[in-house]
Amino acid sequence: MEVERLKKRLLQEEVKRRRRNSPTYRLLVVLVPVLVLLIGAGIAYYVSTLEERLHDTFAEAEALVLKGEYDAAIGRYRDIYEDHPDFVLAPRALFRTGEVQNLFLKQFGDALLSFHQLEQDYPDAIFVSDALIHEAAIYKNRLADFGRAASLYQKLLDRGLQPADRFQYELSDCYFRLNNFEQARLEFENLLKSWPESTLVTEVEYRIGMTYALDGKLKEAENAFRTILKEKPDDPFAIEAKFGLATVLEEQERLREALKVLQELEGIYPAPDALRLKMEKIKDRIAKKKKAV
């Protein structure tokens, strides 16, 4: 048995010796280290140039947007945030995807998905705030989902984002469009209290008068409109307030007063046909009342 083992070992050593002495083995001994070095260098080069290439990809996407090639641009943006989500420009690329879908392609549902993904994957990215602004506008102005829009405008206010007075106005308007006039009025009044220097103040005062009128609180509406006319007679919204005043006077059957207010708007009201029709309607009602007497 010992002799057999010895023969086997000697045979194995002979095979190894022959391998080492073969041209193929000697070639591998030389080439393998070279190949390892080349592969390592290739990997190092790829890693070192990846960031530069991704920056170039983002620049290409931006150039495609300027050319109006929006789908191609979105493809470049996706190459960044889908294949390299940890790259510094990935959140921005995702935001730009939603922005292009919203503003240029009018793909509002897809835009919302992109913005939602941005919030989920990169909650601390600076672009999340801009995404929320886009989302709120889409829900309010494109999809007429005023309830969801209201919650988003409230979220923007809670985050302290600017312009806060504009977000408060949009929040108020959402409730107005939901026919929740009491809540709309409360939100408008909050704007006046929190931002008394806002350029929206007179418009908000007018909108408060409208909430009273639509709620059937005609005396309160009349007082709101008269306050604007007294304190800000030259403001552009004074014209709308005068038309609103005529409307609530008519609702109170004070037809001659209403007609007089409307006559003061002749030549300055921006919708002359609507003014003329309203005056004719009130004149007819006055004439019918005279006949009834």
Residue 92 reports pLDDT greater than 70 = yes
Residue 46 reports pLDDT greater than 50 = no
Average pLDDT, the chain: 90
Nearest CA-CA partner of 214 in 248, 190, 246, 237: 248
Collect all residues with Cβ–Cβ distance below 8 Å to 212 and sequence separation of at least 6: 181, 185, 218, 220, 221, 224
- What one-letter code names the amino acid at 210? M
Q: 125's torsion region: left (phi>0), alpha (psi -120 to 50) or beta?
A: beta
Q: Could you tell me if 116 and 139 are in contact, meaning their C-beta atoms sit under 8 angstroms apart?
A: no
Q: How confident is the model at residue 16 (pLDDT cuts 50, 70, 90)?
A: low
Can you tell me the mean pLDDT for 35-55? 62
- Separation of alpha carbons 274 and 14, rounded Å: 110
Collect all residues with Cβ–Cβ distance below 8 Å to 92 and sequence separation of at least 6: 58, 125, 127
- Separation of alpha carbons 243 and 252, rounded Å: 15
Q: Check residue 286 and give its pLDDT.
A: 93
**Among 33-47, 132-146, 228-242, the least confident range:** 33-47
Residue 2: its H or E element: helix 2-21
- What one-letter code names the amino acid at 67? K
Can you tell me the mean pLDDT for 75-101? 97
Q: How confident is the model at residue 110 (pLDDT cuts 50, 70, 90)?
A: very high
Residue 26 reports pLDDT greater than 80 = no
Taking the CB of residue 32, how many other CB atoms lie within 10 A of it? 10
Tell me, rounded to whole angstroms, the distance of Cα 226 from its chain centroid: 37
Share of residues in the chain with pLDDT > 90 (%) = 81
Can you tell me the mean pLDDT for 182-208? 98
Nearest CA-CA partner of 165 in 201, 136, 128, 210: 201
pTM beyond 0.75, yes or no: yes
Q: Check residue 38 and give its pLDDT.
A: 44
- What one-letter code names the amino acid at 4? E
Tell me, rounded to whole angstroms, the distance of Cα 240 from its chain centroid: 30
Residue 4 reports pLDDT greater than 80 = no
H and E: helices and strands count for the chain: 14, 0
- CA torsion, points 209, 212, 218, 222, in degrees to nearest 10? -20
Nearest CA-CA partner of 258 in 277, 290, 291, 283: 283
Residue 24 reports pLDDT greater than 70 = no
- Separation of alpha carbons 266 and 268, rounded Å: 6
Q: Check residue 18 and give its pLDDT.
A: 62
Q: How confident is the model at residue 289 (pLDDT cuts 50, 70, 90)?
A: confident
Q: Which domains are assigned to the chain?
A: 51-143 (1.25.40.10), 200-293 (1.25.40.10)
Q: Check residue 154 and give its pLDDT.
A: 98
What is the three-class DSSP state of 68? coil
Q: How confident is the model at residue 45 (pLDDT cuts 50, 70, 90)?
A: very low
